[in-house]
Amino acid sequence: CGWGTLMRRLKERGVLDQGFSEQIGEAMMASCCALMNEFGAVLGQTHSDELTVLVPPTKGARAHGGSMQKWISTAASVATNVFNRRIAAVAAERNMVLDKVIVAHFDCRVGVFETAAEAQALILWRASDCAVNAPSDAIKWSDAAMKVREFNTIEKLAYLQSHELLPLRRHHGYGSLFAE
């Protein structure tokens, strides 16, 4: 929630450098792995501020008594906690203490799919979403004029290439996929 505002505040205060942050990517990957561990997920994908985990039905029925409400609140709190602890550590490495308003707040949704193929399609859609969002994100944190943000994905990639801002870093450009 409020991802762009959080990133802007972290960059303005010098906790993060301008542009894509490897520390943010690492915090998101750690959050994804923590969710996988918490719920016994077999697959996890993350990019930008998105986390998706696939939990097989046999494990899902046992996690937190099978209560969807507990799943939702626990997932949001696990992701928020792991991410914020990682960012606090980044600030501490720079001898900084984060302002109380500089914290991430993750939301959560739960989907139930009839088949493994349907669930895997969600992961494929997230990967496709990353391919669209990554150039937009790179444009947002560059010195590009506001009108460049209105370009389509191909135009954004051409702009990034012409300004020697490609290739994007691995997690930024492709996201990260984890399997158990």
Question: What does the block give as tokens for 164?
Answer: 């020697």
149 located within any domain: no
Question: What does the block give as tokens for 74?
Answer: 């626990």
What is the predicted pLDDT for the residue at 56?
Answer: 85
147 located within any domain: no
pTM of this structure: 0.88
Instruction: Scan for tokens 């996890």, then name that residue.
Output: 44
> Looking at the 3D structure of the chain, how many domains does it have?
1
Most confident of 48-57, 75-84, 116-125, 136-145: 75-84
83 located within any domain: yes
* 3-state SS, residue 46: strand
Pairing mode of beta strands 43-47, 176-179 = antiparallel
What is the predicted pLDDT for the residue at 111?
Answer: 84
Nearest residue to 20 via CA among 62, 48, 40: 48
pLDDT in tens, 2-43: 898 999 999 999 999 988 889 999 999 999 999 999 988 999
CA–CA dist 171, 134 (Å, integer): 9
**CB 161 within 8 Å of CB 26:** no
Q: What is the CATH number of the domain that holds 92?
A: 3.30.70.3000
23 located within any domain: yes
9 located within any domain: yes
Query: Residue 55: phi, psi to the nearest 5?
Result: -115, 120
What is the predicted pLDDT for the residue at 62?
Answer: 62
pLDDT in tens, 119-128: 999 999 999 9
Question: What does the block give as tokens for 173?
Answer: 């450009």
164 located within any domain: no
Angle at which helices 68-93 and 22-39 pack, to 10 degrees? Answer: 150
Domain enclosing residue 66, as ranges: 3-115+169-179
